[in-house]
Amino acid sequence: MKEFPKLLIANRNGEIFDVPFIRAAGMKGGEIFPLEVSDLAELHPDSELFMLPDRRPVGCDAGGKEAVRVLSDPFGSGSDCFPVAAFAAPGFSVSHNTAYEETKAAGQLPLFSYAAAAFYKGKFYAASFRVDSERRQELSGMNVDAVEENVRKYREYFPRNRLVRHLESCALKYGCPAAKNFFLERYEGPLPSSPECNARCIGCITHQPGNRCSVTQPRINFVPSPEEIAEVAVSHIKNARDPVVSFGQGCEGEPLMAGETLVKAVALVRKSTSKGVINMNTNASRPDILDRLFEAGLDSIRVSLNSVRKEYYDRYYLPSGYSFGDVMSSIRLAKKNGKFVSVNYLTFPGFTDSRGEFGALRDFVRDTDIDMVQWRNLNYDPAAYWRTMKLKVRSQDMRGMKETVHDIHAEFPCLMKGYFNPSRGRMKRHGDKVKRLEARG
């Protein structure tokens, strides 16, 4: 029999073992799929492996015909064993979640994405594929000593800037790649600015009412002044090659809730420099504020969506004081103003690649003419997401994540594919590619 990807399990101490006689499997919406080598990408050094407590591993028989529930150590010790999941590195999109069964004691898993993991020909793999080759957030490229050195330097440059102080703890305490890139003066600089939000996403990483599960970092608790924001933005734009600066970071609420301040800040930045991209990661709930930001000089927006269908959007974002219609109006307004529009498409295997969502995405891209889809894994407990969102998709209606990404970009060749907010240089390179495609007709 041809060698197949092996199931990985963990013991109570978190030690990981491959099981040579059980095939690795993936899960999508509770459906079990035998993993093929073509589903896998070698585990990137920045990925992490997790053991999942209060759950039992599920694999397949060697032929991939039957699901195999692993109730205890398959090597016969009788002790418990646990599923292993991979938290894929930035730039990789997850095709299958880890296959497991919850026990009665199972609580909600923390806010990470849980890719199926496997062992094959002596190496670790994850059910994933690369959607962006940029090394913007690769830890190997982040020299921590240089970060600390610049944190000290910036204390002298900006002694009274509260936003720089905030980014110091983001970089040094929480290890935020965006904050580290600010102090390394490269790629995308973060401009967190808003403690408030008008959405109540079930997967919000800074606000989990009733401690549904733990948040990954606290929210910024002040609104920086336009001058503090502009100081950080202009410094990054002047120091970084092909720079991007972005509102709407993982350590804040919705930037549009600080609209007045941001309009003044963007105007100050553009008064000082025309270089770089000023971007906003946003829930796009306030087209009126965006209109003024575009006038002030905002260049691009990245709109966060778990689905392009209202019913599923509402179940995840639980919008308060705005509607899915406002989000669509913001996207159209941005295109009318000639701005670059990306979708931060929070993907979930089994749902995102369902025939229903795929069809709706095609209509959405055709209708809005957006510029880019950023295929980003939704960080949420797989079984809980399926339950909470009341999702129902038959396995025969699951097209495959890889196929879905391929087919969307094949049908819309002008649509950029990626994971990170593009710089001016990258937008231009894509623009040139589009021109060549159009010239070829």
Contacts with ligand SF4 by CB under 6 A lie at 197, 199-201, 204, 206-207, 253-254, 283
Q: Which residues pair with 416 in a beta bridge?
A: 372
Residue with smaller CB distance to ligand SF4, 305 or 333: 305
Closest to ligand SF4 by CB, 68 or 197: 197
Least distance CB 199 / ligand SF4 (angstroms): 4
In the bound state with ligand SF4, the residue whose beta carbon lies nearer, of 57 and 195, is 195
CB 264 within 8 A of CB 231: no
Residue 174 or 412: which CB sits closer to ligand SF4? 174
- Rank residues 93 and 208 by Cβ distance to ligand SF4 and give the closer one: 208
Q: Read off φ and ψ for residue 45, nearest 5 degrees.
A: -55, -25
Distance CA 357, CA 351 (A): 7
Q: What is the distance, to the nearest Å, from the Cα of residue 192 to the centroid of all Cα atoms in its chain?
A: 17
**Closest distance between ligand SF4 and the C-beta of residue 144, in Å?**
28
Query: Minimum Å distance from CB 281 to ligand SF4?
Result: 9
Structural Rg of the chain based on CA atoms? 22
Task: Kindly report the backbone phi and psi dihedral angles of residue 128, in degrees, each rounded to the nearest multiple of 5, phi listed first.
Answer: -160, 170
First to last CA, the chain: 47
CB 97 within 8 Å of CB 50: no
Closest contact distance (angstroms) between CB of 208 and ligand SF4 is 9
Closest approach of ligand SF4 to the CB of residue 273, in Å: 28
Structure tokens given for 403: 């196929």
Of 119 and 351, the one with the shorter C-beta distance to ligand SF4 is 351
Return the amino acid letter for 83.
P
Q: How far is the CB of 19 from ligand SF4 (least distance, A)?
A: 37
Nearer to ligand SF4, 217 or 337 (CB): 217
Q: Which tokens is 272 given?
A: 């000082």
Residue 85 C-beta: closest distance to ligand SF4, Å:
22
DSSP state of 243: -
* 297 residue type, one letter: G
- The type of residue at 10 is A
CA angle 429, 430, 432 (to 5 degrees): 65
